[in-house]
Structure 1
């Protein structure tokens, strides 16, 4: 009998802390692998590339016109919709990744692994984070480039900027949850159909209810003229809390369905439910106290919230965000006044910025013309067509005395207004087309201003077009020499043509039509 002593094997169990660290590291390693695989999926790669390309193209093409003078309180919201395309692709591909083992029949092999099913589910959810972070970098790049434009005004909201990337993350997590709740490839189109129905009947529910609209990841509210930042009144912070809570709730539900029953997971899911409910309650509430009064004041009596600065002979009053733009307005006023004759050439004007904010972002009402003598209205948008439209407004006040009287600028007055507005333009014929509502340079049409419009008859259009084709200095001398008669409400278009040595157009003035 051998002298070898046989000893029983010793069962050594690892401590919970020592066991948790390798499993957490394995879960993160799986998340990194799945994240890399997601970026290689054709839909994700294509849509993300298109998203980046479209963002860069928008920054490049927006160097001129109104886009060159952005309001940052609108620019932050403009970053929310485009990432949703990436989110759709991520939703589909994350769902397919979570169902890969089922499609390939390898689910049973996972039972031999140390990693629990719920950890694999958590890893799939975490795999959506890098793509959401990449979208966040694009959003930051987009907004930063916009903010660095010389004409940018206002300030953005971090909460508004976070909505797009959070929507992408929400889409990826939702795809993983659907793979655990309905482990079938048909779940994705069914959920897409359900989301469409949700958007129609809930998010845009009866009377466009606020609570329903804000359940959607990105709530798009736009208007043509930007509002001062403190008058927007969007519950952006509450909405971000809602999205974060919803993401946590979806992740917690997916992990619980996969068998994760630890106290930490249950507590985290309960906390996510509380955050979601709090976010819904906060974003569904009405406007903050005092917002309606502030909007009323800024709309009806803007002088109470504006600061005024002098430039030359005139005074320029603007909302706080736009005070740096008064020099641009003064340049237009100086250009128009240089062509005017009589006392108008040295008139002291008051250029006042106005906006109708009483209905918030949901309303876009036209501004009523001011009856105050010498006051010219300028809007909150600038660049592009807004510049010649403001020039028409300045010319209208110089000729008629106030904006309300300019609405009846028939005969020679209408011709004089358009000459003052366009006479110094580098390409007056192109600008004439831009400032008219129908983009024409012949026939009758409406010339747009920040408040009301100037009606141009076919005869007036003919005379104005002939004036713009004449040498500027010669026309300027004639306009100044006959200023009193050209600005008289009794002077006809035919008489204006005679005074300016132009052929008299056929027909009659029909300013009332």
Structure 2
């Protein structure tokens, strides 16, 4: 057997062949395509990507069919805020990036595992070009990630109740992280030629991230060194108050990916002027991105957040619909129609003057404590004012209905939050008596997700205590014909809404047997 050995081309020939469309460039692209096919067949990449696509498809499907209520999303995808939706798809890129990190590392080390490194030494293609080909093999996966992200965001944007504006920089994070993971795997293989290094590095990075988060308390600058920073917990902010350094972070990720590529090429012998210049430029871009994203919210942003939190009326737009005035933040003005449907339903069950009493539904957002803070709103003492948040759908709807009903019964939110007598029954029946599945809605507004015993009932501005006796009365009323109960409520409205009326008396007025004057009848006796 004879082995043909190709002599390296002279410098002039190499320069001629090394152009962007020369034979060597085509060879690099051909090798990159081959490596992409190998990665696509790798079980880890295949499984991770299939799960990612399937999970995204399920999220899109559930958001359009109502199955979100069965999957823990509480129906809040019915009316997505696009300034939150753009970063909701970022975590998938991190999982794919980790999978590619491990699999690309193994692909680069394939020749080492199979003992064919010596054969590569006689090839015309230099080691740094093979390194470049391995890095380019990750690009199609980054593009596929971008398509998945675009599909998910487009689905949210096409929802009839969608509000706000997305950010291209936020949407670019997932594909950039996917690319970064693959390039990091190439560099690791060139630095540490061992197939065991990548899994150990993954575990080490995860543990180090957990340790640093605990040790530094999640400092802003350190958090943004992480590839993905989702920041969730708060209700959606107006788009202009989100204040995330998304563009700087995208620059940081892109610069870091190119920097790692440059380091891998230099390690592989690609010490040309072009590679050196690319590496230096990437280092500058990475440093610039880190500097930009390390700055916390500006004084102007903090002031704007405080203003909209404390005085939403200064920026809201108000619209009158009958006896109710709806005041919404500018991006949410289109939502007054769905608020009005719930408001009209609750009002229609009330007696006396409650059905026609002037009300103001005011939207509120707590933006002073950042995007991670779980918001809480103090009950308003202004008569006839009802709070609605920036999140809508699922459990938020019956919670708003309970808050509205408490204002109709007690006069204002503060008084409504202190109800503990038989008026609690009136409030719960007003809020839930007109829905298609009242018992399910009762379960949704109670923290323990039950319809038996005492519990805490959620409203937008606090909680109501509900005793076991009150639960029995409400459950009985919700199981009866709607028109029958509505007639009795209107007929006894004055007494049902009088302070001090006991639950036993309410049960008597509404013909619910078996509720006496014993312990735990009223929630204030608990």
TM value normalised by structure 1: 0.95
The answer to whether the 8 A contact 1:311-1:327 is kept is no
C-alpha distance in structure 1 between counterparts of 2:483 and 2:436, whole Å: 14
How far did residue 359 of structure 1 move?
0.6
C-alpha distance in structure 1 between counterparts of 2:234 and 2:369, whole Å: 13
The answer to whether the 8 A contact 2:105-2:189 is kept is yes
- Counterpart of 2:91? 81
TM value normalised by structure 2: 0.93
The alignment of Structure 1 onto Structure 2 pairs a total of residues equal to: 503
Alignment partner of 1:288 is 2:298: yes
The answer to whether the 8 A contact 1:410-1:489 is kept is no
- 1:217-249 C-alpha deviation (Å, 9 max, x unpaired): 111311152222222211111000000110011
Alignment partner of 1:171 is 2:170: no
Distance 1:248 1:468, change over 3 A: same
> Which of 418, 425, 428 does residue 428 from structure 2 map onto?
418
C-alpha distance in structure 2 between counterparts of 1:323 and 1:72, whole Å: 15
- 1:223-281 C-alpha deviation (Å, 9 max, x unpaired): 15222222221111100000011001100000001111111111110000000100111
The answer to whether the 8 A contact 2:259-2:283 is kept is yes
Judge which range, 158-167 or 477-486, deviates more.
Answer: 477-486
- Counterpart of 2:223? 213
- Counterpart of 1:57? 58
How far did residue 215 of structure 1 move?
1.0
- Counterpart of 2:45? 44
How far did residue 412 of structure 1 move?
2.8
The answer to whether the 8 A contact 2:138-2:179 is kept is yes
The answer to whether the 8 A contact 2:172-2:250 is kept is yes
How far did residue 202 of structure 1 move?
3.3
RMSD of Structure 2 on Structure 1 (CA): 1.6
C-alpha distance in structure 1 between counterparts of 2:48 and 2:271, whole Å: 36
- 1:192-216 C-alpha deviation (Å, 9 max, x unpaired): 2321233123355412111211111
C-alpha distance in structure 1 between counterparts of 2:202 and 2:421, whole Å: 60
The answer to whether the 8 A contact 1:314-1:351 is kept is yes
C-alpha distance in structure 2 between counterparts of 1:328 and 1:255, whole Å: 57
SS at match of 2:355: helix
> Which of 93, 101, 106 does residue 91 from structure 1 map onto?
101
How far did residue 469 of structure 1 move?
2.1
- Counterpart of 1:330? 340
> Which of 241, 259, 263 does residue 231 from structure 1 map onto?
241
Judge which range, 221-230 or 348-357, deviates more.
Answer: 221-230
C-alpha distance in structure 1 between counterparts of 2:512 and 2:125, whole Å: 90
- Counterpart of 1:320? 330
> Which of 276, 292, 300 does residue 286 from structure 2 map onto?
276
> Which of 367, 375, 382 does residue 372 from structure 1 map onto?
382
**Who wins on radius of gyration, i.e. which is larger?**
1
> Which of 356, 373, 394 does residue 366 from structure 2 map onto?
356
- Counterpart of 1:152? 162
The answer to whether the 8 A contact 1:203-1:215 is kept is no
How far did residue 414 of structure 1 move?
1.1
Structure 2 unaligned segments of length 5 or more: list them: 1-9, 67-74
SS at match of 2:299: coil
How far did residue 392 of structure 1 move?
0.6
- Counterpart of 1:4? none
- Counterpart of 1:6? none
C-alpha distance in structure 2 between counterparts of 1:426 and 1:17, whole Å: 76
The answer to whether the 8 A contact 1:204-1:213 is kept is no
How far did residue 357 of structure 1 move?
0.9
C-alpha distance in structure 1 between counterparts of 2:34 and 2:203, whole Å: 31
- Counterpart of 1:310? 320
Distance 1:15 1:410, change over 3 A: closer
Alignment partner of 1:130 is 2:140: yes
How far did residue 105 of structure 1 move?
1.8
- Counterpart of 1:391? 401
C-alpha distance in structure 2 between counterparts of 1:163 and 1:12, whole Å: 41
C-alpha distance in structure 1 between counterparts of 2:136 and 2:335, whole Å: 46
C-alpha distance in structure 1 between counterparts of 2:246 and 2:343, whole Å: 39
SS at match of 1:388: helix
C-alpha distance in structure 1 between counterparts of 2:103 and 2:139, whole Å: 14
SS at match of 2:217: helix
- Counterpart of 2:24? 23
Alignment partner of 1:192 is 2:202: yes
